[in-house]
Amino acid sequence: MNRDIYQEPLVSRYTSREMQELFSERFKFTHWRKCWVALAEAQHELGLAAVTAEMVAELKANVDNINFEVAAAKEREIRHDVMAHVFAYGQQCPLAEPIIHLGATSQFVVCNTDLLIQKRALHLIKRALLTVIANLAEFCTRHKDLATLGFTHYQPAQPTTVGKRNTLYLQDLLMDLEYIEQLEGQIKARGAKGTVGTQATFIELFAGDHDKVRELDRLVAQKIGFDQVFAVTGQTYPRKLDMKTAETLAGIGASAHKFAVDLRLLSNLKVQEEPFERKQVGSSAMAYKRNPMRSERMTGLARKLMGLPANFAATAANQWFERTLDDSAIRRMDLAQAFLLTDAILKLYINITNDMVVYPKQVERHLKEELPFMATEKILMACVERGKSRQEMHEVIREHSVAAGLDVKNQGLRNNLLERLADDERVPFDLQELNGLIGNYQQFTGRAAEQTTEFLQEQVAPVLEQYRDLLGDIDATLSV
């Protein structure tokens, strides 16, 4: 690592090697050459005399041994990266030199390679996402019955279960998965469309044979790994696709952010935590701290990720006519960032869910403190069953609840709500009956456990089954 100049933290700190490689120069330029091979081969197969089998063979033989320095020197001279790489490739392929890039425009290699990178990157993301889903499903199963305080407004509301709460994160991730699948259907090859997308040079080369040119488009796409090709394009593939890609990834960011913020709050409550490494230092000054650093990092990374779609929307919306270059520098940065951020976030998500900790004793302690309040809904229902008006009882209970709450806050007393209700003649129960109503608080969780089971069986299991082959070991070790 060069310590004298800025290093991108996504690479130096947060992401997987696999994702970093997809956005490298090596991957890009190697696949430019693969595009040129595909073009020449398809032209040859379709009977273009100028392109011989020997030329194709020569091109194929030189896909991987890129002479980077030659290309870089040429680019400094002519300020055009594609032409520079055509030149460098031509140096290594004297025979094929005249037909490299024949009939193509720069965006032939640039767009098709970009699309391929995104396709591959999306596959990595999908695999990581499925791992999180599997981890969380396992967690939900384990804790499906564990009653815990449910919160609305971050105020104790009614009990739910730890498992049920986590199905909500899972459901978010399933929606993300559906949008990944939708996006996979949108990523098509740009194919061989020529300048401004009219295929004019190709129809010239093939002497007006429209069928051959359509076939060339399809064939090239297939050779570089796509089963679909955009029906029409300008100079580039539609930038609208990038917007959808960014939104799909940002969706994962939003899901992860919600999970991470909740975990940071649970951490404060001491009821649930990310795994903690034995030697980790929480603070230089406060040795006792166990900070939820991974969740906090997820939060920050997700925030950045969620900020990216707007850039892509603006780029798509401001492309003039067949193409303008104001998309170049920003896409160069933001497509990589979007995938790298998602990679980093999912790596953290896997790391955390591999070993997420719950403290049942603390879960119970918090719940019991609020139990009399929790029971008010049940008491309200019971009053209605005894013929009381729901609205009137709601008001009676509200008044005593607020008063009991204030006693806790003002005087540090324990919760005296049941006593207060028993003493109120409008309430048709005595203290014993009221305590009976609370009974086993597990029942206050309603169908939480059943919902969890149903959800896992009906929604999650089929997905994990469908993608069984994608699941496997992902290295979620963090470097910092």
What residues from 387 to 406 belong to the interface with a second copy (CB under 8 A)? 389-391, 394-395, 397-398, 401-402, 404-405
Q: Of the listed 24, 80, 210, 283, which one is catalytic? A: 283
User: Does 465 engage in binding with a second copy (CB under 8 A)?
Assistant: no
Fill in the DSSP letter of residue 14: I
Q: Closest approach of Cβ 403 to a second copy, in Å?
A: 10
Q: Which is nearer to a second copy, 17 or 469 (CB)?
A: 17
Q: Closest approach of Cβ 427 to a second copy, in Å?
A: 12
Residue 102, C-beta contacts closer than 8 angstroms, at least 6 positions apart:
39, 40, 43, 50, 51, 205
CB atoms within 10 A of CB 332: 12
Q: How far apart are CA 191 and CA 237, in angstroms?
A: 9
Q: Which is nearer to a second copy, 135 or 253 (CB)?
A: 253
Q: Measured between alpha carbons, how far is residue 79 from residues 67, 254, 326 in Å? A: 17, 40, 16
Q: Measured between alpha carbons, how far is residue 388 from residues 373, 375, 381, 425 in Å? A: 19, 17, 9, 13
DSSP string, 359-375: -HHHHHHHHHHHHHHHT
Q: Closest approach of Cβ 98 to a second copy, in Å?
A: 6
Residues from 202 through 261 that contact a second copy (CB under 8 A): 202-205, 210, 213-214, 230-235, 238, 240-241, 243-244, 247, 250-251, 253-255, 257-258, 261
Chosen residue from 96, 189, 308, 350 binding a second copy by CB under 8 A: 308
Query: With contact defined as beta carbons under 8 Å apart, do 223 and 56 qualify?
Result: no
DSSP string, 290-310: ---HHHHHHHHHHHHHHHSHH
Chosen residue from 53, 184, 365, 432 binding a second copy by CB under 8 A: 365
Q: How far apart are CA 239 and CA 235, in angstroms?
A: 11
Residues from 402 through 461 that contact a second copy (CB under 8 A): 402, 404-405, 408-412, 417, 443-448, 450-452, 454-455, 458-459
Chosen residue from 53, 54, 138, 283 binding a second copy by CB under 8 A: 283
Chosen residue from 300, 428, 436, 439 binding a second copy by CB under 8 A: 300
- Annotate each residue in 257-276 with x if it binds a second copy (CB under 8 A) or - if it does not, as one string: xx--xx-xx-xx-x--x--x
Q: Which is nearer to a second copy, 425 or 469 (CB)?
A: 425
Is 283 catalytic? The answer is: yes
Q: How many residues bind a second copy (CB under 8 A)?
A: 208
CA 114 to chain centre: 19
Q: Which is nearer to a second copy, 134 or 344 (CB)?
A: 344
Query: With contact defined as beta carbons under 8 Å apart, do 216 and 206 qualify?
Result: yes
CB atoms within 10 A of CB 53: 11
Q: How far apart are CA 338 and CA 116, in angstroms?
A: 16
User: Does 191 engage in binding with a second copy (CB under 8 A)?
Assistant: no
Q: Closest approach of Cβ 238 to a second copy, in Å?
A: 6
Chosen residue from 43, 62, 311, 353 binding a second copy by CB under 8 A: 311
Q: Which is nearer to a second copy, 287 or 469 (CB)?
A: 287
Query: With contact defined as beta carbons under 8 Å apart, do 341 and 249 qualify?
Result: yes
Chosen residue from 47, 54, 332, 468 binding a second copy by CB under 8 A: 332
Query: With contact defined as beta carbons under 8 Å apart, do 353 and 135 qualify?
Result: yes
Q: How far apart are CA 189 and CA 210, in angstroms?
A: 19
Which amino acid, one-letter code, is at 231? A
Residues from 155 through 184 that contact a second copy (CB under 8 A): 155-160, 164-165, 167-168, 171-172, 175, 178-179, 182
User: Does 307 engage in binding with a second copy (CB under 8 A)?
Assistant: yes
Q: Which is nearer to a second copy, 141 or 324 (CB)?
A: 324
Fill in the DSSP letter of residue 189: B
Q: Measured between alpha carbons, how far is residue 13 from residues 9, 340, 427 in Å? A: 5, 11, 61
Residues from 75 through 134 that contact a second copy (CB under 8 A): 75-83, 86-87, 90, 97-106
Burial label, 169 (beta-carbon count in 10 A; 0-12, 13-18, 19+): buried
Q: Which is nearer to a second copy, 19 or 125 (CB)?
A: 19
Q: Of the listed 153, 210, 328, 401, which one is catalytic? A: 153
Chosen residue from 63, 70, 95, 200 binding a second copy by CB under 8 A: 200
Q: Closest approach of Cβ 142 to a second copy, in Å?
A: 17
Q: Closest approach of Cβ 187 to a second copy, in Å?
A: 12
Q: Closest approach of Cβ 290 to a second copy, in Å?
A: 6
- Residue 443's DSSP bridge partners are none
Residues from 333 through 352 that contact a second copy (CB under 8 A): 333-334, 336, 340
Q: How far apart are CA 455 and CA 458, in angstroms?
A: 5
Q: Which residues are catalytic?
A: 153, 283
